[in-house]
Amino acid sequence: MQEPSESLDFVREKVKADTESGKFSGRVQTRFPPEPNGFLHIGHAKSIYLNFGIAEEFDGQCFLRFDDTNPETEDISYVDAIQEDLEWLGVAPSGPPKFASDYFPQIFEWAEDLIRRGLAYVDDQSAETISEQRGGFGQPGVESPFRNRSAEENLGLFHGMRDGAFDDGSKVLRAKIDMQADNMWLRDPVLYRIRRVPHHRTNDEWIVYPTYDWAHGQSDAIEGVTHSICTLEFADHRALYDWCLNQLELPGDKPEQTEFARLNLTHTVMSKRILRRLVEDGHVDGWDDARMPTVRGLRRRGYPAEAIRAFMDQISVAKVNSVVEIELLESFVRTHLNRTALRRMAVTKPLKLVITNWPEGEVEWVDVVNNPEDPDAGTRSVPFSGELWIEEDDFRLEPPPKYYRLTPGREVRLRNAFFVTATDAVTDDEGNVIEVRATYDPETRGGNAPDGRKVKSTMHWVSAEHALDATVHLYDRLLTESHPGADDADPLDSLNPASRETTEAKVEPALGEVATGEVVQFERLGYFAADLDDASVFHRTVGLRDEWANIQKRKQK
Ligand code: ATP
Ligand code: MG
C-alpha cells in the first residue's frame, strides 16, 4: 500500500472515512470508464490518476471499463489505443478490461424487472415530443399519454423493441418516476433506445441499447465498484443513479457516486468533438500531433508521464470548476527534464562561422558534461574545427542596443571551447549575412581566458564538417486565446496559423545516437523530443524559461 500524501483531497477524505467506518466492508474499488469514441486527453489523465491513485493508496482495485453503449461513434481501434495510453501513463488496471456491453443481458433483465413492477413504460412519442414534455426548471412536466400502459403490454412492447418489431426511434423505454420532480433527470428519463447499428463487440446481437444513466450505475454494481468517481456535470444525475440502483436486487454493495471538477487548461480544448474538428479540418496532422492535448500528442511532444502525474498531484482535486494555467504543467515538465535530459548542441537556424586563424584541417575534441544536474550522466567528446555552424540570431552586422552576442570587433565564448572575435562578414546581393569570419584565442581552450578577461555571452555551435542534419519543429500555442470558447465563441476562433515552425537544423554527432522518443536539452534552446518514428526529427517540448515563475511574480504585484 502506497502512503496517501499528507493533505488529502475531498475524494480521498471520503474514501478514507469510508474505509475507517467499515463501509463496503472496508473495500475500495474504483474504475476508469472511457467511452471508446476517441483518444484520451490530458483531462482523462486527471481522472485516471485519481481513480488508479486511490486504488493504490487504499489497497483497493481499479478497473478499466469501456462504457460502450453508443455503437454509432465507437470503435475497436479506440479500445486498443486507450489501453496503450493507460500503459504509457504508468497505471495498471487490476485485471483485463471490462465492457459495459458484456452486461447488456443483465441490464436488459433489470429493465424487465422495472416494467413488471410498474416502474418503466414504453413510450411511442418522438424524441422531440418527449424532450418538450420534460418542461424545465419551474416549468411543469407533461405526462406521456402512454405512461399508464399495463405491465403486460409494456413487457410485450419492450420485447418487440428488442426483437425488431419497431423502427429505430419509434419507441423508447422510460423510467416511471415523477414528471414534476425538481431534478429534470427524474422526469421519466429514457432507459432504452432502438438503434440498428452494429456494435464493435456485440455486432448485431442487440438493436436496443441502454442509455448512459441506465448502464453506468448498473455496470458499477455488477463489478463491485464502491466509489464511482465522475466529473461535476454528472452531479445532477446522481439522484437518478441512486434511484436506479435502489430499485434493483444488487449482487453486492450499492456503489456511491462522487463528483469532482474536471481539468481545464488555458489555451487548450479538451472536448472530443472540438479535437476531432482540429484533426478532420487539417489544422493538425492527426490525433497524435505534438500540438494536441491528447495523451499521444503529449507523448510525441516529449512530456514525461511522471511529470504529468506530479502536476495532477499538485493541482489536486476540487469541487468547483476552474482553469489551470498551462504554464504550470509546462513547469512540471521542465523540472522533470532538467533532471533527466542529456544536454546537446544543435543549431536550428544555421549560419556559417569561419575561424580564419584555425590551423587548416585540424579538429579538436572537447570533453563536455552530459548533464550538470546528474553526475552519473558522464561526459562526451564534441568535435571543434575551423568551420562551425552558429545560430543566425547570434550574429548581427549592425547590433541593436543591448545586443551582447557576436558582432564585428566583439569577443564571445563558444561554449566549452574557445573565445572568438568576429572580424567581418560575407553578405549576399541583398545584404543578408551568409558567413561570419572570426579569429580565436588558442589560450582560451575550455572556454576561459587565463588572464581573467570576461565576455558577455556564450553561444552554442556545431562543427560543420561533423554536423548531422535534423528537422526541428518549434511550437507556439495552437490557440492564442487563453480561454478558447469563452463567451460562446467558437473555441477554434483563435487558431494560431504559426503554431509550428519547421527548420532544417545542424546538430552535433552525439545526436545521431538519440533513441526515438528520447528527450534532450538543446543548449540555450529548450527541451526537444526525438520523434517516435524518426529520431532525426525533433519536437520542442518546452522552452528553458520558467514562464510559470513569471506569472506567479506578476500575480504577487
Ligand atoms: P467528451 O465530453 O469530450 O466526449 P467525455 O468526458 O465524455 O469527453 P469519456 O470517455 O466519457 O469522455 O470520459 C471518461 C472519463 O474521463 C469520465 O469519467 C470523465 O468524467 C473523465 N474526464 C473526461 N474529461 C475530463 C477532464 N477534463 N477532467 C477530468 N476528467 C475528465
Ligand atoms: Mg462521456
Instruction: Tell whether pTM > 0.85.
Output: yes
* Residue 63 pLDDT > 80: yes
Domain shared by 355 and 406, yes or no:
yes
Domain shared by 195 and 55, yes or no:
yes
Mean pLDDT of 289-301: 98
- E strand map for 385-486: 387-391, 411-414, 419-427, 433-441, 458-459, 462-463, 468-475
* Best mutation site among 231, 275, 292, 317 for ligand 1 pocket (most ligand atoms within 8 Å of CB): 231
Number of domains present in the structure of the chain? 3
The finding on whether 270 has its CB within 6 A of some atom of ligand 1 is yes
Nearest-atom index, ligand 1, CA of 275:
3
Cα(82) to centroid(ligand 1), Å: 13
Domain shared by 316 and 364, yes or no:
no
pLDDT at 550: 84
Q: Of 236, 260, 284, which one is at a domain's C-terminal end? A: 260
Candidates 255, 183, 202, 163; CA nearest to 66 is 202
Block residue for cell numbers 563558444: 414
The finding on whether 81 has its CB within 6 A of some atom of ligand 1 is no
d(CA 404, CA 411): 10
Domain membership of residue 444 (yes or no) is: yes
Mean pLDDT of 99-114: 98
Block residue for cell numbers 584541417: 361
Domain, as residue range, for 58: 10-260
Domain shared by 236 and 334, yes or no:
no
Domain membership of residue 465 (yes or no) is: no
Cα(371) to centroid(ligand 1), Å: 39
Domain shared by 320 and 372, yes or no:
no
* Residue 5 pLDDT > 60: no
As a whole number of Å, the end-to-end CA separation of the chain is: 43
Q: Which residues pair with 219 in a beta bridge?
A: none
Neighbours of 133 (CB within 10 A): 18
pLDDT per residue over 401-445, tens digit each?
999 999 999 999 999 999 999 999 999 999 999 999 999 999 999
Angle ∠(397,399,404) on CA atoms, nearest 5: 115
pLDDT per residue over 446-479, tens digit each?
999 999 999 999 999 999 999 999 999 999 999 9
The 10 Å CB-count burial string (b at 16+, else e) for 26-48 is ebbbbbbbbbbbbbbbbbbbbbb
Domain shared by 138 and 34, yes or no:
yes
* Residue 254 pLDDT > 60: yes
Q: Of 392, 427, 460, which one is at a domain's C-terminal end? A: 460
Cα(259) to centroid(ligand 2), Å: 14
Nearest-atom index, ligand 1, CA of 263:
28
Q: Which residues pair with 31 in a beta bridge?
A: 63
Candidates 211, 203, 126; CA nearest to 168 is 126
The finding on whether 47 has its CB within 6 A of some atom of ligand 1 is yes
Ligand with smallest separation from the Cα of 78: 1
Nearest-atom index, ligand 1, CA of 36:
10
pLDDT level of residue 556 (50, 70, 90 thresholds): confident
Domain shared by 546 and 416, yes or no:
no
* Residue 2 pLDDT > 90: no
Backbone torsions φ then ψ of 310, nearest 5 degrees: -65, -40
Mean pLDDT of 216-228: 98
d(CA 77, CA 326): 29
pLDDT at 554: 85
pLDDT per residue over 498-510, tens digit each?
999 999 999 999 9
pLDDT at 4: 52
* Residue 1 pLDDT > 70: no
